[in-house]
A and B are shown apart, each in its own frame.
Chain A
Amino acid sequence: MRLSRLARAGVAVVSLAVALTACGSRDEGSGSLVDKAKNDKKLTIGIKFDQPGLGLQTPGGAYEGFDVEVAKYIAKELGVDANNITWKQTPSSQREDMIANGQVDFIVATYSITDKRKQKVDFAGPYFIAHQDLLVRADDKSITGPDSLSGKKLCSVQGSTSAQKVKDKFPQVQLQNVKGYSECLTGLESGAIDALTTDDTILAGYAAQQPGKFKLVGKGFSDEKYGVGLKKGDTKGRDAINAAIQKMETDGSWKTAADKYFGPSGYTVPAPPAITEK
């Protein structure tokens, strides 16, 4: 059978694409991350770079936040020094793929454990349970919880689970979607927006950044279980991370870190959650 020139070109393009994809997803050794940490003494960990209190890149290039503390503790338990950690930014939409093709060893980035995500990655933890909450101006007394939202203007990040939940649960609320949470703050300050909504951990970070301006309402209306995401099937890695989280929770460093990053905003740090992903 003679192929036309166009068809041949098409075949060439497709096979090239397949070859490239195959390169992209090549397996970086099928071993567990525990072995990798033991042999190389190095780890690549995915975090958020833009969330105060959780994972934030400081102007100096250092990283701080609760997620970062948890990641460092796990790395220490696996035998890797904090200086040998390569931090990588893992935006929400890319987390599953970055784990699957080995760009990061594990992810500690406000990564909520959901069934859909479990199809692609394994989770350890949870190491924290956050709740969707509201951040309002410090002098605003009209919003006391999810029940007093009628006719109010809320702000959240487009595409996020929090934004979608508001739309489903409170149809009488007007929702302003923006690209990043910090863009909500301008409107919140000027009064164009009444409340910013997302996980209370993130809100606490913003409240602590500008003390006295905003306050957390403190009536959470959902549970987000933050887990550590790792490659699917790495049971050994998951057990090791679970043990590390367990140790962090019992030896007091969990509470120290939580108080340090969430405390200043008046956020009451809950008790550490029980580990369920076994």
Chain B
Amino acid sequence: MFDFLSKYDVLGAFWVTVQLTLYAALGSLIWGTILAGFRVSPVPLLRAFGTAYINIVRNTPLTLIIVGTLLGLSQTLGVTMGTNVLDSQNFRLATLGLIAYTSTFVCESIRSGINTVPVGQAEAARALGLGFGQVLGVIVLPQAFRSVIAPLASVLIALTKNTTVASAIGVAEASFVMNNMIENESDKLFLVFGVVALGFVVLTLPTGLILGWVAKKVAVKR
């Protein structure tokens, strides 16, 4: 019943999914934190940029962004992402698109975390003579991060599933192999769906459980 699976590199495809998720998660955590910094900064221009970026990118469908990286960035503007091999170029473009998109959600999560830190903390830090960077980096963000582990876990799970959109530009991740299987094994449609769905559950369920435990562990007790 499951012997058709041996014809396809299902594990390899899920490995690509994992790689996409990890790179995009790392990138969007960094870029999202910077964006959150922009949004609470005292410089009006940075605040305006952060707000505009988030409202535009967050409200654009992910498929549009991913396909846009290929058709617009790569094929029209000629950005090659430092490689001539199509497969790795597509992988990098997809990672870039995922970072651009996911970072908006990361940013808003972190910003909500910043709001959980009592104003007195920042005021006390300023009274001690710390500058904006120090207040944010040393006092506010460490406390903010500890309270947003659970929402960030949700973002990470959403990101894991969003990687399937990368197949739109030919990255050979899980849903790409699924499409190949559907084309060739049309008699086993539901089995194919089941296998891929199970693969995603295996990836996302532990993510949620572990990060949920971590969130409880590190939460700031107030």
Of all chain A residues, the one with the shortest Cβ separation from B182 is A93
Give the shortest distance, in Å, between A135 (CB) and chain B (any CB).
16
Contact A153 B86 (CB under 8 A): yes
Q: Which of B36-44, B144-152, B162-170, B195-203 contacts A (4 or more CB under 8 A)?
A: B162-170
Total interface residues in chain A, CB < 8 Å:
27
Residue picked from B67, B74, B170, most chain A C-beta under 10 Å: B170
User: A190 an interface residue at 8 Å Cβ cutoff?
Assistant: yes
CA distance A159 to B90 in the complex (A): 16
CA distance A179 to B179 in the complex (A): 11
Selected contact of B169 from candidates A93, A164, A178, CB within 8 Å? A178
User: A176 an interface residue at 8 Å Cβ cutoff?
Assistant: yes
Contact A161 B75 (CB under 8 A): no
CA distance A117 to B170 in the complex (A): 26
Contact B187 A116 (CB under 8 A): yes
Given A158-B179, A186-B71, A186-B75, CB of A175 within 8 Å of CB of B170: yes
User: B180 an interface residue at 8 Å Cβ cutoff?
Assistant: yes
Residue picked from A95, A120, A159, A193, most chain B C-beta under 10 Å: A159
CA distance A176 to B86 in the complex (A): 7
Selected contact of B170 from candidates A96, A164, A178, A190, CB within 8 Å? A178
Size bracket of the B interface: 20 to 34
Of all chain A residues, the one with the shortest Cβ separation from B177 is A159
CA distance A160 to B181 in the complex (A): 10
User: A246 an interface residue at 8 Å Cβ cutoff?
Assistant: no
CA distance A145 to B67 in the complex (A): 29
Selected contact of B186 from candidates A120, A183, A186, CB within 8 Å? A120
Of all chain B residues, the one with the shortest Cβ separation from A174 is B86
Which residues on the B side are within 8 Å of A178 (C-beta)? 67, 70, 168-170
Give the shortest distance, in Å, between A14 (CB) and chain B (any CB).
14
CB contacts between A and B, total, < 8 Å = 73
Selected contact of A177 from candidates B71, B78, B176, B183, CB within 8 Å? B176
Mask: chain B, 182-193; 1 = CB below 8 Å from A; 0 = not: 111111010000
Contact A93 B176 (CB under 8 A): no
Contact A179 B183 (CB under 8 A): no
Within 8 A of A (CB), among B5-22: none
Given A93-B186, A159-B183, A164-B184, CB of A176 within 8 Å of CB of B76: no
Which residues on the B side are within 8 Å of A16 (C-beta)? none
Which residues on the A side are within 8 Å of B167 (C-beta)? 158, 177, 179
User: B85 an interface residue at 8 Å Cβ cutoff?
Assistant: yes
Contact A190 B75 (CB under 8 A): yes
Contact B90 A176 (CB under 8 A): yes
Which residues on the B side are within 8 Å of A187 (C-beta)? 70-71, 75
Contact A120 B75 (CB under 8 A): no
Which residues on the A side are within 8 Å of B183 (C-beta)? 92-93, 159-161, 164
Given A153-B86, A159-B180, A190-B76, CB of A179 within 8 Å of CB of B168: yes
Given A178-B170, A190-B76, CB of A96 within 8 Å of CB of B71: no
User: A13 an interface residue at 8 Å Cβ cutoff?
Assistant: no
Given A93-B179, A187-B70, output 8 extra A-B contacts at Cβ < 8 Å.
A93-B182, A96-B187, A97-B189, A119-B187, A158-B170, A179-B167, A187-B75, A190-B75
Supply 15 A–B pairs (Cβ within 8 Å), ascending by A. Answer: A93-B183, A93-B189, A95-B186, A96-B186, A159-B176, A159-B179, A159-B182, A161-B183, A164-B180, A176-B169, A179-B67, A179-B167, A183-B67, A186-B76, A187-B71
